[in-house]
Chains A and B, each alone.
Chain A
Amino acid sequence: MESLLFYIFAAAALAGAIVVVSNKNPVAGALALVLTLFSTAVLFILLLAHFVAVIQVLVYAGAIMVLFLFTVMFLNLREESLGFDAQNIPFKLGALFLVLIICAFLAGIGFKKGLSSVQAVAVEENFGTVQGVGEILFKDYLLPFELTSVLIVVAILGVVVIAKRGSD
């Protein structure tokens, strides 16, 4: 059952990713990205990361995708402004070759370390719950967590400055 779910949602995530990369229309790409992010959230649940899965849906599939779609529709892109993607076949093949090498390298890391299978590791009772993650987040990683809020404030100020300068 678990492996069936894994293969279904892994295939969905990959299909969404390929549509994002290959589709000409940014709106279709954004909706395919929603598919990928939702499938990843399901994979998080399979990995017993329940809190992280909920955060993934709320923040990624909710907030970030709304921002993308809002921008795409706000700019009101015309058809001729979408069709400028590279038609250079050798360039595309070279890029494909490069990323396949990176893929083989990254996948090789996983096999080389000789990690035990996922099911083999017993986890404690509150693994992946709000309580478990919250205890680590607010005890061991309190300073990075607070620094994140500083980062967000800086980002808000930066966005306001950039948007204001662009408008006049």
Chain B
Amino acid sequence: MGVTIEHYLVLSALLFVTGAYGVIIRKNLIVVLMSLELMLNSANLAFVAFSRALGDMTGHVFMIMALTLAAVEVAIGLALVVAIYSHRETLNIDVMKMLKG
């Protein structure tokens, strides 16, 4: 019994929900960003798995686009982390209520 597309999709789903769980329960802004990376990475895995199953390389192109998006998101997110930390002296996301009405 070889490895099928379903194996990769189940692994992708597990990685995605692990990242989602981290985004929900963690209060540390840097760990929340890392969990977001996990979610993006699992989506990339699903892209490449479907690409292999269908014999079509378009999924690889989309994976490269998603990777670029992840890099941009991390750059901006970490710039915000540095700015917020120098302002508030904490990374607890419960303290960050600047946009609260």
Question: Are B24 and A136 in touch, CB under 8 angstroms?
Answer: no
Distance of A26 Cα from B68 Cα, bound (Å): 23
Q: Please name the residue on chain A nearest to B81 by beta carbon.
A: A71
User: How many cross-chain pairs have Cβ atoms below 8 Å apart between A and B?
Assistant: 246
Distance of A141 Cα from B31 Cα, bound (Å): 34
State the interface size on chain A (CB cutoff 8 A).
87
Residues on the A chain within 8 Å of B96, using CB:
none
Within 8 A of B (CB), among A82-137: 82, 84-86, 91-92, 95-96, 98-100, 102-103, 106-107, 109-111, 115-119, 121-124, 127-128, 132-133, 136-137
Question: Are B53 and A115 in touch, CB under 8 angstroms?
Answer: yes
Name which of B70, B75, B90 has the most chain A CB atoms within 10 A of its CB. Answer: B75
8 examples of A-B residue contacts, CB within 8 angstroms: A3-B2, A86-B27, A95-B21, A110-B9, A118-B52, A118-B53, A128-B60, A136-B57
Within 8 A of A (CB), among B50-101: 51-55, 57-58, 60-61, 63-65, 67-72, 74-76, 78-87, 89-92, 94
Question: Are B45 and A43 in touch, CB under 8 angstroms?
Answer: yes
Residues on the A chain within 8 Å of B87, using CB:
166
Residues on the B chain within 8 Å of A124, using CB:
55
Residues on the A chain within 8 Å of B72, using CB:
151-152, 155
Question: Are B5 and A115 in touch, CB under 8 angstroms?
Answer: yes
Say which residue of A20, A47, A52, A137 sits within 8 Å of B31 (CB atoms).
A20
Main secondary structure of the interface of A (DSSP, over half): helix
Given contacts A84-B94, A116-B5, A132-B57, 5 further A-B contacts (CB under 8 A): A43-B8, A47-B8, A68-B78, A100-B17, A151-B72
Q: Please name the residue on chain B nearest to A166 by beta carbon.
A: B83
A132 CB, min distance to chain B CBs, angstroms: 5
Question: Are B17 and A102 in touch, CB under 8 angstroms?
Answer: yes
Question: Are A47 and B49 in touch, CB under 8 angstroms?
Answer: yes
Residues on the B chain within 8 Å of A103, using CB:
13-14, 16-17
Say which residue of B10, B41, B68 sits within 8 Å of A40 (CB atoms).
B41
Residues on the B chain within 8 Å of A118, using CB:
2-5, 8, 49, 52-53
Say which residue of A20, A67, A116 sits within 8 Å of B53 (CB atoms).
A116
Question: Are A59 and B5 in touch, CB under 8 angstroms?
Answer: no
- A71 and B82 in contact, given A26-B31, A85-B28, A136-B61 (Cβ under 8 angstroms): yes
Within 8 A of A (CB), among B9-37: 9-22, 24-28, 30-31, 33-35, 37
